[in-house]
Structure 1
């Protein structure tokens, strides 16, 4: 159930979210976004440029992490601002399983403008992949 502004308290935790990411997801995202950089699909190329393996698109990672807020708010249009820093790539092995991004969120502030500031943590392989991730959300 979507919370209302009057029901939210600083420190409230959003329901955690775990999102699987496979090589097939990367191919679909490349087609949708037009980002066909070979670091996102070609293991040989990725390792030649110093990466451990193929990595997920940064904007895909950002979008998947943002789902924690849109699902909690019940409306993608409720997000007034969303920002992240990319701190570590999400490695996606070609093992048929891929990887998982685990996302948590916490209400950090209730702003004077009526928005709720949510801080977001996203991890893959137990390592943070986004830094300074936050969203400002308008709740009913």
Structure 2
């Protein structure tokens, strides 16, 4: 039985430039800050950055992996607070994801607070999912 305070199994994901290319094609987001070091630098970024929605999707994967049922996610939202800088190498950027059940409700749903970190710093703020718990 799920209870407030339960922790979700952590998830680590490496984001590489090739992932950015695939995501750009799927999302039709070809903004050069996601593939050009020069453009990223010219606009004041520390390097090429992952798409914010890709980062949010990875955090959502933490929850759907735990539930083993993507359709059980009722609500999901987050704020982008820091970019994930993706180097042009084979290692890419490591995104570390954790989650904790904050509240179990009488209606069979739960609130899950999600933490997404890159280089030890949060990249998403107020990342929260409301999920339908298995019967």
TM-score of the pair, normalised by structure 2: 0.97
Partner of 1:78: 72
| 1:9-37 residue CA offsets vs partner (Å, 9 max, x unmatched) | 10000000001100000000001110000
How far has the Cα of 1:128 moved from its partner?
Answer: 0.4
Task: Identify which of 25, 32, 42 aligns with 2:36.
Answer: 42
Give, in whole Å, the separation in 2 of the partners of 1:111 and 1:129. Answer: 28
Matched positions, count = 134
| 1:87-112 residue CA offsets vs partner (Å, 9 max, x unmatched) | 00000011221111100000000123
Partner of 1:54: 48
Question: What are the ranges of 5 or more consecutive residues in structure 1 without an aligned counterpart?
Answer: 1-6
Partner of 1:14: 8
Task: Identify which of 87, 91, 105 aligns with 1:97.
Answer: 91
Structure 1 position 30 matched with structure 2 position 24: yes
Question: What are the ranges of 5 or more consecutive residues in structure 2 without an aligned counterpart?
Answer: none
Give, in whole Å, the separation in 2 of the partners of 1:96 and 1:45. Answer: 21
Give, in whole Å, the separation in 2 of the partners of 1:36 and 1:61. Answer: 16
TM-score of the pair, normalised by structure 1: 0.94
How far has the Cα of 1:139 moved from its partner?
Answer: 1.4
Off by >4 Å, runs of 4+ in structure 1 = none
| 1:102-128 residue CA offsets vs partner (Å, 9 max, x unmatched) | 000000001233211000000011110
